[in-house]
Amino acid sequence: MIQHLPPRAVLFDLDGTLVDSLPTIGAAMATALKEFGYDIDVATIIPQIGAPMPILAAVLTGASEDESERINERYLSLYYDEFIATTKTFDGATALLNRLRGAGVSLGVVTNKNEHGAHMMVEIQGWKSTFDVVVGRDTTARPKPWPDGTLHGLKVLGATPDQSALVGDTEFDMGAGRDAGLRYNLGIIGARDEARLRAAGATHVLNALPEVGDLLLDGRLTTATQA
């Protein structure tokens, strides 16, 4: 019997993957948009979350680049002052991270939050010593779906793409993992459905975080499906 070899490194998205932050992000953005005269509800905003927020603002409103940047600045102020501290983790998130660490896997974050916000979220959740690298959208020249941040994270961890996995919940995550050439590109169903994740490059689609450990550490797909 061939022994299953776990990956050397696993990179995680934050929002919608490890932390249930989409409702709070959506609420902060809805508040910012309203101040600029755009009445857009949270339910409309949430399915668009994943791109850098100035782009999201432009998509939602058709605003100019300058106004979208100003909306983003107000969003950031609201989010970091009022909303981020209330963010909850998804069930099984901390247990999964501890399981992977216990198996000797190096862990990192690659997010489209700015680096400051990413570190803040990691600290709020008590994960400061869990991750060996935190990559934000401003850490490298280009954010997800470009692979720059993913490759940077792997370089810091001393791992190659064929030894590594990325876990995320949007097409931006899957695109980054696909173009970085990762061995495992795991999509978690939630903000996006299976078809959208697969179209963006998911190698496997899973229903919940505990399945990530089953697949990567034990080679068991459980309810996961493989491309």
Active site residues: 13
Query: Quick one: how far is CA 161 from the chain centroid?
Result: 18
For residue 120, give both structure tokens: 């803040």
Judged by phi (left if over 0) then psi (alpha if -120 to 50, else beta), residue 102 lies in alpha
Assess contact for 197 and 174: CB atoms under 8 A. Answer: yes
Q: How far apart are CA 53 and CA 50, in angstroms?
A: 8
Assess contact for 174 and 202: CB atoms under 8 A. Answer: yes
Q: 164-168 and 204-206 as β-strands: parallel, antiparallel, unpaired? A: unpaired
